Chain A
């Protein structure tokens, strides 16, 4: 297989170039069809239970994603309640209504709010809060006084301190939030105002993130390419040598991304990082082929034979390191988060593709080189890198490690213990808004608005009443009553009775209309009597089915709201009881003591009938379904951090443990902030599975490769130390464990095992030739150690362009990539020899027989480590 490949590559370089070029062109063209996806909901599979419920709730209560516009006035003594500020707000609010994609009926602002108030004794008044912008200072203050009496608006549309007001702009589709936020921004710039305008909200954050992601891919990935090119040029001092690896890297990235996009996958935050992951991984194999070729080839030799030998010699180690890295990323399939799975699969694919391209493209490239270029390449390699700072440090470090085996092992054990302690301190937390840097306008807006208001993060507690027995019970009773009824009248009623109550919630209503008509036509007394009874029964059943119209239930919800409101994480809750209490108060004269739930279900119904006699009757259906079988408590949170949301979830659980809802009421969370918690949980559990799965797979592969479980175990040491160390650091420095941090484990595993493979493989083959570990160690810390160190540096520095990324997750990955490379290279180059120094005989059969004599000297072959 390997020989066939290499021969094909060296005999038919033209064909190789043509095939690769064709693939690059065809799949590269597919990249143009890119679809960006920044919706955190997509972190969950679309059939995941919490997500399905969340979507159902959004439909049930007609909830839309909203852009939040915040207006802050810090100078006027009346805060936002001055004519100029309110006029600007009014104008902006009306202008936003004209933008395409805004859900007009559900826009929330002072200019679109209703007011219910007292207009003299015994008189109630319904009117717009601010139909026209106020002209005088007093009119503006009047609006403040009105808002003060409306708990639903306070801290939601206007801040408690009166300094800030908000406009909630519901949008028809999330894709519109970025263009809409730009349009709104443009509108604010035309306003005659000195107030500060902030635009935020999760959809804006998501969409802006998508936009910035493009920027990142357009800048960071090419920068990474350039960086790697320069670095390799420095190490190898030959452009000719470096071009081949760059071609491999570019082809790998373009084909992998083209395939991903061509297969119809969206590019999520994770997959947007694929190019930058693949680039450094893709170059290292070919660098080593080129470098070994340059060392070996001398003018006059047959190029094809030399490159064939070089690739043949490196084939197996490269295959194994590629396979282990691929397994590390493939293990992400065990994490039930689609974007992470796609990322894992395509990085694994890219790694294997890079391997394939390396073994065919590089030989094809070499045989196509002009003899003069080849000569220059070989000449450039005459200076060995044996006296650089790196070389000297490695040599010294190696000697130190071998001489202090046990102490170093002890230090490592201590470090592991410290790391584990750090891991226990890890805070699992994520918040898409924090994906932006602290000075990003969205972060600033988020901070300002959540300081002034009850919170721009939404979650919903959804209560749903099920009474599965009510309908059969009603049907049976109805059937009994219908037995004596005139058949011509009973038939259509029976038909209506047997229909399935649909989502319309009109089962009893339609039946009552029918009975009403039948009653009018009925003449026979028995029929009239039966129909009257059935009518009464239907009305009672309908009324009972309106579970969340019951005063006792509304009071329970109100208590729940109070309990939740006590939690520091909850800014405010808004729910049906708030409406009922408010309207009840105003109907009864406006006194604070009447801010309560009336005593009967009918009184609640009549209160709500008045609420609906407003300009915005549909607002009611954001809080309860028209059949009153399900209600939503809107919870406003000041922080979108998963941890804070989780605390609120726990607070509710604790409350319900003491004060349970009736048995037939289901209580469940929905809302974007909650969905983030749901996928975060799935991710943490999934990542552990991925890690364990990959760990076992890699261990088995190592045992197979070395044909020794002891060496297999040894090979696991550097990656274990790396993973523990990196997560230990995360725990100790208090960095939240978020999505990018989570995927680093697989990365660490896949990459750091490579170093161990090469180190152990090399040690073993050297031991075959030299019986003494001391001699072997001397050799190990020349070329093999330099190869490992260089690869670590190439990869670590290859990721540094991520530092310039506009978004925090990329920066995080860049920083930790460097940490992973540093720790795993150190663990390999210091801890492995230290362990070998005192546990050598246990590990290597060669050392158990202290007989063999050998010859020293440096290997002629540079070691490979991708």
Chain B
């Protein structure tokens, strides 16, 4: 009986496997992962909470709402990030015009200093407001910046190794991603420094589907050399809400578009 069940299960798995498209082109996998992770819907909004913990488990919290609008799938995008917590940084706003063919345009508004600043692109691998996430983790790294190699295809994931083309622009030597074969969401990313030491891990802890888009709702980044980590939780996720272009204008820095920042009431 048990043996029969096992056989059935095996057959079922093989059958499932046969049905799924098994991709072999790493560039195609990366392109689809990029779309799944950063371009779901034509636009979207979410409220994000970050819990930043150091090795002694001392915590800081950040809460912000992020609005996103795609100019083109896999292409340029716009982001507006508005902070609500802690109260002394409330009203701090980031505006980002993400470009595929050139450096992003980034603006910052600090209400306490009543100051709008343009941020020079410089380096995208700096901490995002003190979290263990980098700016680039939030906005997405361009697939064209690395070479990709499919090193393994498991039952659930494509495992790829990525090597930066411009070695001098990043702190890692390479990274490996585990991309879910069904959703194409990168479920785990491990960064290795140029000397070959693993020092950083990003992992997805929970996924849920909204408007047909499988979406990361809880993720964690661990800084393996300091022992710190940041947990990021996404809530009130919405897609295709029809965000107008003027929401992403410089004017929104000082006057964030309240109507788009409110939580959906079911």
Partner-B contacts on A (CB < 8 A): 59, 62, 97-98, 104-105, 114, 119-120, 122-128, 131-132, 503-506, 509-510, 512-513, 516, 520, 539-540, 542-543, 546, 549, 584, 587-588, 598, 600-607, 609-610, 612-618, 620-621, 625-627
Contact = CB atoms under 8 A, between A and B. Distances in A.
A606 B61 contact: no
B235 to A, nearest CB: 9
B86 A119 contact: no
B143 interface: no
B125 A615 contact: yes
B3 interface: no
Nearest to B199: A104
Nearest to A584: B113
Contact of A626 (B54, B197, B225): B54
B122 A122 contact: no
A747 B208 CA distance: 78
Interface string B125-137: 1111111000100
A660 to B, nearest CB: 27
B99 interface: no
Interface in B95-134: 108, 110-113, 115-120, 122-123, 125-131
B58 interface: yes
Contact of B127 (A504, A587, A613): A613
Contacts of B56: 59, 62, 503-504
A283 to B, nearest CB: 56
Contacts of A606: 88-89, 92, 110-113
A598 B223 CA distance: 32
A123 B117 contact: yes
A131 B113 contact: no
B49 interface: yes
Contacts of A59: 56
A91 to B, nearest CB: 12
Contact of A546 (B88, B92, B125, B128): B88
16 contacts: A62-B56, A98-B195, A123-B117, A123-B118, A123-B119, A504-B53, A504-B57, A504-B58, A546-B88, A587-B110, A588-B115, A598-B113, A601-B88, A606-B89, A609-B130, A613-B127
A98 B85 CA distance: 38
Contacts of A97: 195
B120 A609 contact: no
B49 A513 contact: yes
Taking each of A127, A584, A613, A616, which has the highest tally of chain B beta carbons within 10 Å of its own beta carbon? A613
A599 to B, nearest CB: 9
Given A503-B58, A626-B54, A626-B58, A605 B118 contact: no
Contacts of A600: 112
B7 interface: no
A120 B60 contact: no
B197 A618 contact: no
B177 interface: no
Contacts of B263: 520
B215 interface: no
B126 A613 contact: yes
Contacts of A605: 86, 88-89, 112
Nearest to A620: B130
B59 A626 contact: yes
A122 B60 CA distance: 29
Nearest to B53: A504
Nearest to B169: A131
Given A587-B117, A612-B130, A621-B54, A602 B59 contact: no
Contacts of B92: 606, 609
Interface string B44-82: 000001000111111111010000000000000000000
Contacts of A602: 87-89, 111-112
A542 B90 CA distance: 14
B213 to A, nearest CB: 23
A626 B87 contact: no
Nearest to B121: A125
Contacts of B111: 602, 606
Given A124-B117, A587-B115, A621-B54, A613 B130 contact: yes
A615 B123 contact: yes
B127 A612 contact: yes
B168 interface: yes
Taking each of A503, A598, A606, which has the highest tally of chain B beta carbons within 10 Å of its own beta carbon? A606
Contacts of A104: 199, 225-226
Taking each of A120, A131, A540, which has the highest tally of chain B beta carbons within 10 Å of its own beta carbon? A131
Given A520-B263, A584-B113, A601-B88, 13 more contacts: A59-B56, A105-B225, A516-B85, A539-B86, A543-B88, A598-B112, A598-B113, A606-B92, A607-B112, A615-B126, A615-B171, A618-B54, A626-B58
Given A124-B120, A506-B59, A609 B89 contact: yes
Contacts of B57: 503-504
A609 B87 CA distance: 13
A621 B168 CA distance: 28
Contacts of A503: 56-58
A513 B61 contact: yes
Given A539-B86, A546-B88, A603-B112, A120 B120 contact: yes
A322 B198 CA distance: 63
A506 B117 contact: no
B228 interface: yes
Nearest to B115: A587
Nearest to B127: A617
Contacts of B58: 503-506, 621, 625-627
A603 B120 contact: no
B60 A626 contact: yes
A607 B113 CA distance: 8
Contacts of A612: 127, 129-130
Nearest to B113: A603
Given A98-B197, A126-B122, A621-B54, A610 B49 contact: no
Nearest to A98: B195
B86 to A, nearest CB: 7
A294 to B, nearest CB: 71
A543 B87 contact: yes
A539 B87 CA distance: 6
Nearest to A121: B118
Contacts of A626: 54, 58-60
A128 B123 contact: yes
Contacts of B123: 126-128, 131, 615
Contact of B120 (A125, A601, A604): A125
A135 to B, nearest CB: 12
A540 B86 CA distance: 10
Given A126-B119, A603-B112, A626-B60, A614 B127 contact: yes
Contacts of B55: 62
A126 B126 contact: yes
A123 B129 contact: no
Nearest to B228: A618
A626 B120 CA distance: 28
A119 B58 CA distance: 35
A512 B60 CA distance: 12
A97 B171 CA distance: 13
Contacts of B54: 62, 618, 621, 626
B90 to A, nearest CB: 8
B88 A549 contact: yes
Nearest to A115: B122
Q: Which 8 A-B pairs have the closest CB atoms?
A: A612-B130, A603-B112, A119-B120, A125-B120, A605-B88, A602-B112, A539-B87, A506-B59
Contacts of B108: 124, 610
A772 to B, nearest CB: 81
A127 B122 contact: yes
B113 A588 contact: yes
Contacts of A105: 223, 225-226
B59 A509 contact: yes
A598 B228 CA distance: 30
Nearest to B90: A602
B217 to A, nearest CB: 15
